[in-house]
Structure 1
Amino acid sequence: MLSGLRWLALEVKYLDRAREFYETSLDLSVREATEREVVFDAGEHALVLRRPDGVPRGGVHTHYAFSTPKPLYDDWYDRLSRDFDLVEHDFGSARSLYFYDPDGNCVEIGSTDEDGDPITGIFEIVLEVEDLPEAEQFYAGLGFETYNRGTDRKRVRMGGPFDLELWEPHLGIADARGGVHVDVGFEVDDPMAVTTEIEDRCCRVETVESGVRIRDPDGHYLTFVSSDSA
């Protein structure tokens, strides 16, 4: 149903400050920029920084993860540890480091088996939800499949075009929090067909220039864009 991730949008208070952070700390290249937002190339995906002066706003205190090839992970650790108080976690088959951007988003860089540039894409996004079973059911309707549950029963991890974690309010690794009013763009074969599957559980459905945008029960915005427009 969902063929890929197109973008993750974050809300920032000062656009110039946030842009400098992502350009200098992570070497992301600017794809386009306006007075309201800056769009970065983040491997195969886009990271959008957006001022809070319209809707959708972008996510606040969002925990998300970039992927990097395993041979480059130590380079990232050595580089970032000079300027940031990093938290590192060993998952056995992979390692991840965590640090914060100027707007309180918890940025993770995780090692993967794929090859490519130092940042190959976004592989995880964490959303804060009020009712976990209801949110899990909603995203299952989009094709995500649950493959891990937290022992505290406050989170689930779902597989799809990326790993989606749904968290009831709590602190995770590095005191990360799930994002609120996050804006995520998906590539799909047929935006209207996807919307039809879940529209009875959406709080809002609207046609936008790029495709179809819906708002889920927790206030997160999801935009479905045709894969042909990639």
Structure 2
Amino acid sequence: MLTGLAWLALEVTYLERARTFYEGTLELSVRDERETELRLAAGETDLILRRPAGVPRGGLHTHYAFSIPAAEYDDWWDRLDAEYDLEEVQFGPSKSLYLYDPDGNCVELGQQDVDGPGIDGLFEVVLEVEDLERAESFYRDLGFETVDAGDDRTRVRMHGPMALELWEPHLGIADARGGVHVDLGFETTEPTAALEAVADRVRQVDRVDDEEVVVRGPDGHVLTFTI
């Protein structure tokens, strides 16, 4: 049903400060720039930096993960370690490093099977939810599949267009938190079919047309289904 992650939007206090981190430090290229919003390229996915000047707002304290080629990992570590307090975690044969952006979002750079050079995609987003069972059911009906659950049942991991982690409030790796009022855009061939799958559980429907549907999920996250 959902075929790709079109964008992730983050709320930032100062656009220029956030731009220095994402364009300068992480070497993302700028796709579009407006007075209160900056859109950068993370592979095929857009990373949107947005000042809180209206709705939808970008996500707060969002934990998410960029894909980097496995062979580049050590270079990234050496370059970032001089300025940031990095944390490293091994996941099977792959490693990830964690650092925080200027607005308190936990950014992961993880070894993935991508071409690069540099950041080449966004493979995980973590959402904070109030009721894990309700949220899991909601995203399952959008086509995500549960692949892992924490022993204490405060989180589940689901696979779809990217990895989606649903967390009841707690601190994770590197003291990360799940994002609140996160704005996610999903590619799909049938936006109205995605709406029909979850229409009975959305908080509200903001827009419906032939090419795009915008809803608020049960935990207040803004989800756009777009062609």
Scaled by the length of structure 2, the TM-score of the pair is: 0.97
Q: What residue identity is the alignment partner of 2:149?
A: R
Partner of 1:168: 168
The runs of at least 4 aligned residues of structure 1 exceeding 3 Å deviation read none
- Secondary structure of 1:157's aligned partner: strand
Q: What residue identity is the alignment partner of 1:217?
A: P
- Within a 5 Å distance, the mapping from 1:1-230 to structure 2 comes to 1-207=1-207, 211-226=212-227
- CA drift at 1:206: 2.4
**2: CA distance, partners of 1:99 / 1:207:** 36
**Native 8 Å contact 1:90 1:96 kept in 2:** yes
Q: What residue identity is the alignment partner of 1:211?
A: E
Unaligned 5+ runs, structure 2: none
**1: CA distance, partners of 2:50 / 2:113:** 31
- Secondary structure of 1:77's aligned partner: helix
- CA drift at 1:113: 2.3
- Secondary structure of 1:201's aligned partner: coil
- CA drift at 1:114: 2.6
Q: What residue identity is the alignment partner of 2:72?
A: L
**2: CA distance, partners of 1:170 / 1:25:** 29
- CA drift at 1:91: 1.0
**1: CA distance, partners of 2:24 / 2:160:** 31
CA distance 1:208–1:51, shift in 2 (3 Å): farther
Unaligned 5+ runs, structure 1: none
- CA drift at 1:208: 6.3
Scaled by the length of structure 1, the TM-score of the pair is: 0.96
RMSD of aligned Cα (Å): 1.1
Identity percentage of aligned residues: 63
Q: Encode CA deviations 1:25-77: one digit per residue, 9 max, x unaligned.
A: 10011111111100001111110000111111010000000010101111111
